[in-house]
Structure formats: C-alpha cells, structure tokens
Structure 1
C-alpha cells in the first residue's frame, strides 16, 4: 500500500443546543480534507477499519457538567471528533513491536477519519481469533462490556442472591450486563428494561443462556403504559437489590420506586438527558426513595478500575467461548457499513434505537 498524503475527517463545526444536527447552517460536524503529517518517533499511521459508536460520545462534544469538573477533555470546535477505533497500521515508527500491516485498537484515541496518526502508547494490538469477530474488541471486550463488568462487580458489588435490574438492556453495555448477572454470576433474578416487544424478547433470550439455577428472569418494556406495574411485579413486589443505570430520567425514577431496603445503584450513564438543551433539569419525583430505602448510589467510570481490565477481558472471552455470553449473529452487536460520509449519521442512530447490542461502523475507504 502506498502511503496516503491526505485524509478526509469529520471535525466539530458547532456545539449543538440539543440533538446534534447533520445538515444545514447549524450542522454539528463538517467533513474536511487535510494533509497527513510525517510521523514522529513512536507514532503510527493508521487506516480506520471500525469505529465504536457510544452514547457517551455526546459528552465528548459538550460537557454535561462544567468543563473544569469533567473527567475528560471535550473536543474543541474545529478539531476532529474522537472515538474508539480498530485500525490497520500503514506506517510505523513505534519502538514497540507494532509494525505496518498489524491491526490495533484504541478505546478513545481514534478519530472519525479515513487515515489518522496515533501515538503508539494509545494503541493495543488486536489478537485475531477465527471464532470471535474483531469488532467485539469495541463492544463486549471493549468499553461497553468492561463498563458492565466493573460496574456490576466493583460499584454494585453484585452477589448471586441479588435481584438485579438493568436499563437499556438491549444496548451495548446493558446487553452484556444482563448476561454477566444472569449467566456468569448466576443471580437469582435479573430484570432487563428495553424499548418495545422485539428488544424485550431478544433480552429474554440472552437471559436464558447458561441459566442452570432455575432463576425466573424477565425483561419489561419501558414504552408500555403498564411499565411501572410490570417492573414492580418483575422485581417481586418492588424488591430489587441492585440497579445498573444507563439512562437516568423517567426510567431511573420508576426503578427507585422498586428498590429494596439498602439497595445499591451503579450509575453508568444518563442517556435520556444527553441531548437535552443546556439547563434542562432531569426530573426525578421518587428521589425520596433514596432516603426511604437507604439506597447507595455509586457513580463510576471504567478508568476507575483500570487494573481490573485484563482479568475482566479474560473472563468475558472465556464466557463467550463457552457459550454463556452471546456474540455475533446471536446478539451483542449491530455492524453498519458506510463510507466516511455516513459516519455521523450512523452514530446518531444510537439515539433512535436502531441498534441491538453494540453499534459498530465498518468504514469503507
């Protein structure tokens, strides 16, 4: 492959007031063609193969809290949008063993570009396995799956006798979380929350895998008029001991009313409010339940448990190989093949619920 001299990349054109805009004068992103610089020592020139699509990337554009309090630096206007990526190394000046022709991944240090330069310190070699698609390094074995694993084990301190509720259970993190709780830990009851009968049926199929303890798991539809009643019934009369929260908002409000005394809430995300206009409050009517039931709410990010990641990846891969964690066509990801022009639109599909499991962009260059 001859070395490319330029690349097309998406940059942040304007901070959105609410949901990002794809076209027109207020478009959030702009596609630019820029030259590729020569490599410095310890750098890689990479050709993008797959992009990770994550709801939390909305915070990369605009911090949901004051910027000086946010745990990452946001994307400045005029800078390329960054993302998790799997890429092929085209050229290398790395001092490590990363050479041209290898595949590498990065959880957050790729960008929406056909080609890009990355410091070797941010790249991890991808070990190809004929039984496991490499895209799962962005999903079940990447940020979403590891957030599910660490959030349940270390923030929620999950135990086999727990009644566990997981919101956004048909999404990238939630679909792994319900499987960890049901099929790896063997919790006595796991209740997923998803949108619509099809997604709920899929989540129930995940909960059935590897279930050998006779547990009666469930998935309830938050779009149903009877959602509150269904959730109370599924949690044995409102006695959930653990809630893994991905969405916040009305779903969190409802779950708070179904928590048991001394219940634990692991707060992973708040996707229901990511695209709200600035200053819009998240209404929670049942907040007094935190006091009433003496609940513990633990916010966390994956980086809090960086030392746990190798062991978590090994356990998740073993579960996948053993059939207790669904991957591929059975679930866990939705792969969309597009050219560079379609990258922002594919990402925005997250907020329309187009995906079942992890949403991955396969880039055609």
Structure 2
C-alpha cells in the first residue's frame, strides 16, 4: 500500500490560515476504483473562501473539517475500473490536495483526459489554462494581454501616487475594469469609471484573510448608479469567456515542490 501525503482542512480561520491550527498534513494509504497520482496541484484564492463554516452559498461548497482541500490537478491514472480511463492516462480534474487520490463517482463527470497536441508544459494546465488562469489567481498576467489582442488600450494598477495621478489625470477615466483584488483598489476604480463603464469581477484577494469587521467598505458605491455602471462577476465553473488566442499569451508560473510545503 502506498503512503499518501495530503493537506487536511481542520477548521475555518478568521484571518490568515495557520498550519497546525487550520490546515494539517495527513499520511493515509490509497486504494480505490479510479486511483490517480497528482503530478501538479493548483492552489488558488478560491480555496481560502472554502475555508468557512457551513452555509447556503452556491459558488463552491465549504470545506469539511478533517477532509482534504479540493484542488484542480494534473494527474496520472494508476488504476481504473472506469471504461473511459486507462492506467497511464494524463487527466485534469478537481481532486483532493494530496499526492494520490481516489476519485469518487460524484467527481468523475468533470474529469477529462488532458489533450496536449502542442506539447505544452504541464504546469500551464494548473496555471494559465487551469482554475487559476481562467478565473482569479493567475489571471492578472493574462487579462491585459487578452485586452490588447482585442484592440483595447490597457492600463494596469500601480504602486505609487505619482503613477496613479498619471493614469487618472492624463489618460482619463476607465471604460473597462477587471478586478480580482477588491477593497481599496476596487473603490479607486469605481471613483474613476466613465459613464456606462463595465467592471468584471472574479475575486477580491485583498479581503480573503481579513475578519469581517476589518473588511474594506466601499466609499464610491454610489457611482454604480450615478454612472450607470455594469458589474458582472464570474467563477471558473461558469461558461468560458476566453477566445482562441493560440500562441499569443505569455505566462509565468510559480511552482512549489513537495506536499509538506504546500501550505507555506
């Protein structure tokens, strides 16, 4: 029987998750009907949102204390009693954050064979082509490139008041704003949108690790109706928004080796 290191959710944190208190490592044997070895696992901002007490939210279920965190993964099939999968197949699916996973029947529908005719680096399927890149975590490096390919002038967020003044005073207001930060960054955007502008939101990472009392309250919310703005949120399981931009998107991936380092 193979030993299996995994990342266990213990209980919901009020702020930043602490190893040993909110997350822990497990070592369990693995055996089952469809058994996979997880070669690459994606750790994404949405997982922090899953570390919560039970509720009726529909975007993703809360994590269950004592069970592994769910994660998008590129995996190799080791054993299968499912006709569509065979040992040695590379697959992508929502598996548990562990070295090996038994895939229950409820998680089989989203599992798909990994089609890679261009022989791309497999890390891309947990980054730019996975949960992270198609929604929040790794989208920042891609969304500006997608906008440029559509003929738009792109302005990114900046790290100084001088640069902010340049954007606001010399470049004018914003027609489109793509947000995965929230908080003060979103508030600034609301303050400088043009009439009938559009905001796309796929995350608010600046707020995830703050207790409710410390989360930022928007001050420019009135501009939503004063400027007749349209705000659309989406998550990765919604229908795809990205078009075919073969070979024209550049990305960088951050890789951590070893399950024991996954939560650090």
Is TM > 0.5 for Structure 1 vs Structure 2?
A: yes
1:177 matched to 2:143: yes
After superposition, the Cα gap between the structure-2 partners of 1:54 and 1:262, relative to the gap in structure 1 and judged at 3 Å, is same
Q: How far apart are residue 81 of structure 1 and its match?
A: 0.9
> Which residue does 1:340 correspond to in 2?
259
Q: Which runs of 5+ in 1 are unaligned?
A: 149-170, 194-220, 346-365
User: Higher helix proportion, which one?
Assistant: 1
- SS of aligned partner of 1:83: strand
Report 1:78-93 matches (<5 A): 78-93=66-81
Distance in 2, Cα, partners of 1:301 & 1:38: 31
> Which residue does 1:36 correspond to in 2?
30
> Which residue does 1:261 correspond to in 2?
195
1:237 matched to 2:172: yes
> Which residue does 2:51 correspond to in 1?
61
Report 1:119-130 matches (<5 A): 119=105, 120-129=108-117
After superposition, the Cα gap between the structure-2 partners of 1:333 and 1:38, relative to the gap in structure 1 and judged at 3 Å, is closer
Confirm or deny: 8 A CA contact 1:83 1:110 kept in the other structure. Answer: yes
Q: Which runs of 5+ in 2 are unaligned?
A: none
Distance in 2, Cα, partners of 1:133 & 1:233: 42
Distance in 2, Cα, partners of 1:131 & 1:125: 14
Residue deviations 1:74-104, cap 9 Å, x none? 11111111111011111111121x1101111
- SS of aligned partner of 2:28: strand
Report 1:4-15 matches (<5 A): 4-15=1-12
Confirm or deny: 8 A CA contact 1:181 1:190 kept in the other structure. Answer: yes
Q: How far apart are residue 21 of structure 1 and its match?
A: 0.9
Q: How far apart are residue 227 of structure 1 and its match?
A: 5.0
How large is the Cα RMSD of the aligned pairs?
2.2
Distance in 2, Cα, partners of 1:21 & 1:255: 32
Residue deviations 1:28-58, cap 9 Å, x none? 111122232432xxxx201111011211111
Report 1:93-104 matches (<5 A): 93-96=81-84, 98-104=85-91
1:186 matched to 2:122: no
Confirm or deny: 8 A CA contact 2:183 2:215 kept in the other structure. Answer: no
> Which residue does 2:95 correspond to in 1?
110
> Which residue does 1:352 correspond to in 2?
none
1:325 matched to 2:249: yes
Q: How far apart are residue 70 of structure 1 and its match?
A: 3.7
Q: How far apart are residue 14 of structure 1 and its match?
A: 2.4
1:295 matched to 2:229: yes
Distance in 1, Cα, partners of 2:56 & 2:78: 37
Distance in 2, Cα, partners of 1:58 & 1:69: 14
Give the TM-score, by structure 1 length.
0.66
Distance in 2, Cα, partners of 1:111 & 1:49: 12
After the TM superposition, list the runs of 4 or more consecutive aligned residues in structure 1 that deviate by more than 6 angstroms. Answer: none
Name which of 122, 125, 129 aligns with 1:141: 129
